[in-house]
Structure 1
Amino acid sequence: MKTSVLYLFTLCVATVAGTTPEPTLTSTLTFELLAATPMPSTQTPTTPKPPAVAPTTLQPVSLLLVGARTDGSKASSPGITVYDASKSPLQQLFSVSSTLTGNMPTFMALTQDKNYLYVTNEVAAGQIVSFAIDRSGASPTLKRLGATSTNSNGPVHIAVTSNQRFALVASYTVGSITVRSVVSSKSPVLAIDPTTKVASRMVSQVVFPGAARVVPGRQDIAHAHCVTLSPDNNYVFVTDLGNDKIMQFKFNPTTGTLLANSPAFVTVSPGALPRHTAFHPSGKQLYLAVKTTQVAGVLTGAIRITADGRYILVTNRYGGSTPGDSIAVFAADLTPIGNYVLKAWAGARDFALGANNTVIVGEENTNTFETFQLQANGQLVPTKVAQPWLFKPQVLLPLS
């Protein structure tokens, strides 16, 4: 059976003197591996302990944006559906058709002020679609602003700088990281257009070379899977599933420039297939979810960290010969707390930490959601509330 593993890295920043063109200080980032912990077995799930008083660890979220896998030939299919996540079951407020979202809106990110939404279309001619979030009415609406090419195939992940000037995109098919300025087409590269906020100009792009070739069919070329900004936005980390590496760059959040860091990458175990990363709220530790060994089995879905940094949650999909989909919980030091079985063959691709300590899991194979309550001791208790149907939910994004 394949075993999913969480890695915990600490970030070490050294400052060295430079001489060109005049004495400057340059930060060099390195990783130190603190721990690597296998997921609790999906075939022998932990039985939840009796509920305890729930902690106030999750961000208060009342709205949930869900991007779905779409069929390009059916323009009426919903690309993004918006739910009231404070209701049980989830209450649909409205949906945006794939005509507006573009085909395959499988990942999205909000600006820091949560007034703009950027959506990637995971197709051959990848693009970013921009929306303004209008809260003037009884419930928010999404107004499409425009779309622009990612200059890459298969964009699967996007992040936006805290100053809202740049959108960074990881593209799986070609193994690249692309930086685009968030401006209108007529604005200077460093200007911010308060009206359109359209990601319209490519600033940097790096295509990763090589391939690990440990796992046939998955590592024949580079595959960028996730892009993560450091909390200060001075570094960028990209998981390269095809090379078993975390690529790391120095980043200038004023100009959008990417520069190779030293070292340029951190290598994980051969065939580990690094997928997603997430920073601890302290900003000093980075968590990496991978799948390991070369036998068919578990594939991690998503990784989330509670707002207080106490708990790390990860979904597992496709448990080999038996239905092993689950959601696992760890303490911040990667001590396993529990592993909770989901619907058989659910396909738990993504999940969100919602209002009232609710954990909402999107299941692409069963076309629905499952919800749990997070307890003070880190245990999850299933709500057993029937949730609405949605065709192949791919990404869940809370909107406060």
Structure 2
Amino acid sequence: MNKLVRCFLGIMIGLSTTAQAQSNKEIMYIGTYSLRGSEGIYVFEFDRSKGTMQQLQAVSNAKSPSFLALHPSGNYLYSVNEGADKSGGVSAYGVDKATGKLQYLNGQSSLGSGPCHISIDQTGKTAFVSNYGGGSLAVLPINADGKLSAAADSVQDVGSGPNTQRQEKSHVHSATLAPDNRFVYVANLSTDKLNIFETDVKASTVKPASTPYASVKPGSGPRHFTFHPNGKYAYLVEELTSSVAVFSRNPKTGALTLIQDGVKTLPDDFTGQNTSADIHIDPSGKFLYQSNRGYNALAIFSIGNDGKLTKVGDQPTEGKNPRNFLIDPKGDFVFVAHQDSDNITIFKRDQKTGKLTYTGQSVKVPAPVCVIMAKR
């Protein structure tokens, strides 16, 4: 073998090794409350081979950039600014695809106080912002350069529920787009309803669907909502009763039919205070996870062929107040953000059983409340 060939092979092996190392590293974004020294949004690099996270950047935002969403292109990131004034706030950031780092682009009003959730439609043309304090939904156009325009539409909800402390007025908690991008489902914690809207993402407007809402038990408190990968079933966090509701979905009309209600997420012997928060399904569609704050654990369910849930177990999350969590797109890891103990814990996931094992990795982040991962 001559020197030229050996040199060429050496270069190719070096490039392959570098590419393999880079393929093991993925970018993560953490939204926080502006408490205990939090700088705003944190950018981390996750090394899949080692199961570790390393901070790359802290992006200054003193208005509690709590919930985050990535643009479908991966070129932009959006945050609600929950600590903004009564007109609310939303920020847009450009993403450096080479490094994952963020640069501020612009901001807009969310037309209501306490914006707590944002979602982006699949075309990347429209953002849907839920105002918890204002009890409303704002619909904002996204420009070709990723910047946000002023809201083109909004819906003010009204109503209350039997829990006089938490359901005293309208509290819109999330807006979740259907897999077909035709409907958006808006959870109101106070009215115990999921309002259903048809979307026009080109015009950034919404209108009530032919079946305009689905109801759950009074006092249950709808919070976050997710769809099964097959699109036939959907699952709702009932925050105030620490339970989950299961729906089948009509893809033509968007209507929901309740097929399993008030499924308990807590052990029978738990007697403390608890509220449920986040909900996710693994990529295979076999298991569902829901976070419980107070019990400080993830409830684990298997999903039947009929969409119904069977409790598998509970996994302590190694922190206090597990708000948001992430199942990585490959289904191998789960990351749990703890609002009150200022840490994100990492778990390995058994894809056959759905069970979790704590890796011993805990990353310090002040008041983390949202964790997402960039698509590769």
Aligned residues: 316
Distance 1:376 1:124, change over 3 A: closer
Choose the corresponding residue for 1:129, options 91, 112, 127.
Answer: 91
2:21 maps to: none
Moved over 6 A (4+): none
1:209 maps to: 158
Q: Are 1:242 and 2:199 an aligned pair? A: no
Cα offsets for 1:263-297 (capped at 9, x unmatched): 32111101101111001111221110113559972
Query: Residue 55 of structure 2 aligns to which amino acid in structure 1?
Result: L
Offset of 1:372 from its aligned partner? Answer: 1.6
Cα offsets for 1:77-112 (capped at 9, x unmatched): 4211122222546332322333xx351010010111
Distance 1:356 1:151, change over 3 A: closer
2:40/2:64 contact within 8 Å kept: yes
1:254 maps to: 202
Q: Find the aligned partners of 1:377 and 1:356 in 2 and give their Cα distance.
A: 11
Q: Find the aligned partners of 1:314 and 1:208 in 2 and give their Cα distance.
A: 26
Q: Find the aligned partners of 2:318 and 2:283 in 1 and give their Cα distance.
A: 27
Offset of 1:121 from its aligned partner? Answer: 0.3
Q: Are 1:108 and 2:39 an aligned pair? A: no
Offset of 1:124 from its aligned partner? Answer: 4.3
Q: TM-score, normalised by structure 2?
A: 0.79
Give the 5 Å matches for 1:43-122: 62-71=26-35, 77-86=38-47, 88=50, 90-98=52-60, 101-122=61-82
Segments of structure 1 that go 5 or more residues without pairing to the other structure are: 1-59, 184-192, 319-323
Q: Find the aligned partners of 1:61 and 1:203 in 2 and give their Cα distance.
A: 38
2:374 maps to: 399
1:303/1:312 contact within 8 Å kept: yes
Offset of 1:144 from its aligned partner? Answer: 1.0
1:89/1:387 contact within 8 Å kept: no
Identity of matched residues, %: 26
Choose the corresponding residue for 2:283, options 302, 307, 310.
Answer: 307
Cα offsets for 1:234-282 (capped at 9, x unmatched): 1111100011111111111222221112332111101101111001111
Offset of 1:356 from its aligned partner? Answer: 6.8
Q: Are 1:351 and 2:320 an aligned pair? A: no
Choose the corresponding residue for 1:224, options 172, 180, 187.
Answer: 172
1:153 maps to: 113
2:342 maps to: 367
SS in 2 for 1:135: coil
Cα offsets for 1:348-386 (capped at 9, x unmatched): 001111367011111112111222211133342323414
Q: Find the aligned partners of 1:235 and 1:379 in 2 and give their Cα distance.
A: 30
Query: Residue 140 of structure 2 aligns to which amino acid in structure 1?
Result: R
SS in 2 for 1:85: strand
2:288/2:302 contact within 8 Å kept: yes
Offset of 1:67 from its aligned partner? Answer: 1.0
Deviates more, 1:300-309 or 1:61-70: 61-70
1:372/1:380 contact within 8 Å kept: no
Query: Residue 279 of structure 1 aligns to which amino acid in structure 2?
Result: F
1:301/1:350 contact within 8 Å kept: yes
Root-mean-square deviation (CA, aligned residues, Å) is 2.1
Offset of 1:201 from its aligned partner? Answer: 2.1
2:317/2:336 contact within 8 Å kept: no
Segments of structure 2 that go 5 or more residues without pairing to the other structure are: 1-23, 243-270
Query: Residue 348 of structure 1 aligns to which amino acid in structure 2?
Result: P
1:129/1:147 contact within 8 Å kept: yes
Q: TM-score, normalised by structure 1?
A: 0.74
Q: Find the aligned partners of 1:61 and 1:221 in 2 and give their Cα distance.
A: 44
SS in 2 for 1:163: coil
